[in-house]
Copies of this chain bind each other. A is one copy, B any other.
Amino acid sequence: MSDQEYEEAGQGPEMEIVHLLRAVVVDLGRHSARFAQRNGMHPTDVRALIVLMDAARAGKDTSAGQLGAALGLNSAGTTALVDRLERAGHVRRVRSERDRRKVTIEVDERAIALGLQHFGPLIDRAVGLLREYDERELAAIKGFLTGMQEAATQEGERADGH
């Protein structure tokens, strides 16, 4: 981004959308934070449940180590996280049969229901919004989001020296 482009930030139609996306990220973050606080959880706990439920939807088990890696926690932090979630009844620890060092984390059905109760209305609104668009418009939205996702992950790899 050149200095000149920065001077114009917030003015062009493209920059307006960039700022809008950032605002959406912030506001959705706040939405998650409210869910966390309302249920006596921390942001990390919510992120953990999302990771676990994503894996479950894909039909995969998640071990404690995988969960910690996905969240960027070390082993001690991961143990503390799972302790909190288990104490709150949101997940269960299950020793793996094959490799008895492993602990797979299972999400409790009530935690899923709790999440649906909070995020359901927001998802409904999103689906309702998207139903108003035709195929070309949906492709544009999808293309932009996909591009931003790639950019966000690639920028990270680039700057990390991978």
Contact indicator B24/A152 (Cβ below 8 Å) = yes
A131 in contact (CB, < 8 A) = yes
What separation, in Å, do the CA atoms of A131 and B12 have in the docked complex? 11
The DSSP consensus for interface residues of chain A is: helix
What count of chain A residues pass the 8 Å CB interface test?
Answer: 67
Which of the segments A61-69, A85-93, A102-110, A117-125 contacts the partner chain? Answer: A117-125
Identify the closest chain B residue to A43 (Cβ).
B43
27 A/B residue pairs, CB under 8 Å, sorted by A: A5-B124, A9-B57, A10-B57, A13-B130, A13-B138, A14-B130, A14-B131, A15-B123, A17-B138, A20-B149, A21-B28, A21-B145, A23-B149, A24-B25, A26-B47, A26-B50, A28-B152, A29-B29, A30-B152, A30-B153, A118-B159, A125-B147, A129-B144, A129-B148, A130-B144, A133-B140, A136-B136
Q: Which of A's residues lie within 8 Å of B, judged by CB?
A: 1, 5-6, 9-10, 12-18, 20-31, 33-34, 38, 47, 50, 57, 72, 116, 118-127, 129-131, 133, 136-138, 140-149, 151-153, 155-156, 158-160
